[in-house]
Amino acid sequence: MLKIKDLKKNYGDFFLDCSLEVNRGQITGLIGQNGSGKSTTFKSILGLVYPNGGNITVFGKDYHYLTTKEKENIGVVLSDSGFSGYLRIKDIVPVLDNMYRTFDKSYFLEQVQKFQLPLNKQIKDFSTGMKAKLKVLVAISHDAKLLILDEPTAGLDVVARDELLEMLREFMEKDENRSILISSHISSDLESICDDLYMIHNGKIVFHEDTDVLLSDYGLLKVDEDQYHEIDKQYILRVKKEPFGYSCLTNQKQFYIENYPKITIEKGTIDEVITMMIRGLQK
Ligand SMILES: Nc1ncnc2c1ncn2[C@@H]1O[C@H](COP(=O)(O)OP(=O)(O)OP(=O)(O)O)[C@@H](O)[C@H]1O
C-alpha cells in the first residue's frame, strides 16, 4: 500500500532517515516526540516536501505519478492544514462534492449530525475537538483506500479521542483493503487501534514491532546487582541503572519467567518500552 525506503531529508542539523511500510488492511502507527520527524515523513509521502534521498511508493507508484483518481484514494489529515476558518460545514459540502467523485455526501452529513457538528457555524469558532473531528470526517468520506493521518488526536480530551478512534475503526471495518498510517505522541491511542507500531526518534526509526507481540512478548525485568550478573542476557535489548539495581527490557519475557521464576518481571507499557529503547543502554 505504502512503502518508504531510506527516506532522507535534512533541515540544518536535523537528519531524517526513515523506512517504513503500511500493508493492505492494516493500521500502522508512527510514535514520536515533538520534532522527531513525523510531519516531515508525512509531507514527503504527499510530495509536499522534497526529500534529499530515498524512495516512496503509494499504491506501488511514486506519488507524483499517481493519477487524479488514484490521489482521490488517499484521505489526508495534516496537523497544519484545514479549511479556511471563515467557511461553514454547509459551505464545504459542495466543495468536497466537486473535489471527489466518490464523496459520500449522505454519509458525511449523517456523521456531522452524529458528532453534533454545527452546519452553520464558521469553522474558526469550532472547538479543537470539533475541528479535529471535521478533518477526519472529510478524510474518511470519499471512500479512500489509504488514510494518512498526522496527529489527528492532538489536543483532544479522552472522550473526543475515543470517538475519533471509533470513527477510524468503523472506516476499517467497511472494507478489508483499506489501510491507515497514523501518527501520535500518545502511545495509548495507537496501542488500541494499530496492528504495528514504528517509533521515530531524532529522525531515525528506532523500533518496529507488531502491537500484539509488543504487548505479549516484551517485559521489564527488575533485578538487583546479583541477579543482573546471573541472568542470561541474550534476550535483553536495553538496560537501565536503577536505585534497586537494573531494569532490563526483553522481547522474550516467557524465557525469563520460565528460567528465573524469582525475578520480578513487569509487563511494561508501550511508553516504558519506548523509553527504554531510547534511553536504555545496549547491554
Ligand atoms: N520547513 C522546515 N524548515 C526547517 N526545518 C524544518 C522544517 N520542517 C521541519 N523542520 C525541522 O525538522 C525537524 C522535524 O520536524 P517535524 O515537524 O517533522 O517533527 P514532528 O515529529 O512532526 O514534530 P511535532 O510533533 O512537534 O509536529 C524539527 O527539528 C523541525 O524544526
pLDDT at 186: 82
pLDDT at 228: 94
Which positions ≥6 away from 247 have C-beta within 8 Å?
A: 220, 221, 222, 239, 240, 276, 280
Instruction: Tell me the chain's radius of gyration from C-alpha atoms.
Output: 21
CA distance 9 to 223: 41
Atom of ligand 1 nearest to the CA of 151: 25
For the 2-213 domain, the top CATH level (class) is alpha beta
Q: Which of 10, 18, 36, 186 to mutate to test the pocket of ligand 1 (most atoms within 8 A of CB)?
A: 36
Residue with cell 534497586: 244
pLDDT at 283: 66
How many helices (H) and strands (E) would you count in the chain? Answer: 11, 13
Protein residue with its CA nearest to atom 11 in ligand 1: 11
pLDDT at 119: 93
Cα 212 to ligand 1 centre (Å): 30
The response to whether residue 35 sits with its C-beta less than 6 Å from ligand 1 reads yes
Query: Would you write out the chain's pLDDT as a tens digit for each of its 283 residues?
Result: 899 999 999 999 999 999 999 999 999 999 988 899 999 999 999 989 999 999 999 999 988 888 888 888 999 999 777 788 899 999 999 999 998 989 999 999 999 998 899 999 999 999 888 898 999 999 999 999 999 999 998 878 888 888 889 999 999 999 999 999 999 888 888 888 999 999 999 999 998 999 999 989 999 999 999 999 999 999 999 999 999 999 999 999 999 999 999 999 998 888 888 888 888 777 6
pLDDT at 3: 96
Rounded to 5°, the CA angle 93-122-142 comes to 25
DSSP 128-182: HHHHHHHHHHHHHSS--SEEEESSTTTT--HHHHHHHHHHHHHHHHT-TT-EEEE
Cα 47 to ligand 1 centre (Å): 16
Neighbours of 88 (CB within 10 A): 16
The response to whether residue 25 sits with its C-beta less than 6 Å from ligand 1 reads no
pLDDT at 77: 92
28 pairs with which residues across the strands?
181, 196
pLDDT at 268: 80
